[in-house]
Amino acid sequence: MTIPTLTRDTIEANTSGGSYERGQEYFADGAVRSLKRTDDHTLKAQVQGSDVHPYLVTIKFSEDDISTVQCTCPYHGGSWCKHIVAVLLKTLAVDEVPLDESAEVSDLVHELNRRELVRLLERLVEQDPDLLDEIRDEHARLTRD
């Protein structure tokens, strides 16, 4: 388990209006996709709901408790939505959630503007000139797709 104090009772206590039961159905139907750890205290997952695009769920936690939960769905019931429930139930069902290092890169550069991104790449190439060839290759691949 990734969140040491997580239990089904904790999940159910933070829901209302049938969210727990609907979350159980989503979990049982395999709606939780790409469950990953982006660092030691953050889980992210996609949950296929009724919308064409999956909802994105983010859960931040400490050794003692869940600190924040977020979902991109429109639910505003003041408690955890069915998508959050499904992700937490999946977390209970697996031994370990894998670390997604690509998500960490995305999180690191998400708030950088274009100028900052260019400077970051320049500094990395200064430290490792071979990266320039990889950047050129990736640029060519992206621009021809």
Instruction: Tell me which residue of 55, 52, 67, 57 sits closest to 6, measured CA to CA.
Output: 67
Sheet strands side by side (includes 55-61) = 32-39, 42-47, 55-61, 66-71
Higher pLDDT, 23 or 137: 23
The pLDDT score that the predictor gives to residue 25 is 97
60-93 tens-digit pLDDT: 998 888 999 999 999 877 899 999 999 999 999 9
Confidence category of residue 9, pLDDT binned at 50, 70, 90: very high
At 60, which amino acid appears? K
pTM score, two decimals? 0.69
Residue ranges covered by each domain of the chain: 8-99, 112-144
Q: What is the dihedral of CA 37, 40, 94, 101, to 10 degrees?
A: 30
Write the CA distances from 143 to 69, 82, 112, 139, integer angstroms: 37, 40, 22, 6
Mean pLDDT score of the chain, rounded to an integer? 88
Phi–psi pair at 64, nearest 5 degrees: -100, -30
> What value, to the nearest 5°, has the Cα angle with vertex 52 and ends 87 and 108?
55
Asked if 27 and 48 count as a contact pair (C-beta separation under 8 A), the reply is no
Per-residue pLDDT tens digits for 44-57: 999 998 888 899 99
Architecture of domain 8-99: 2-Layer Sandwich (3.30)
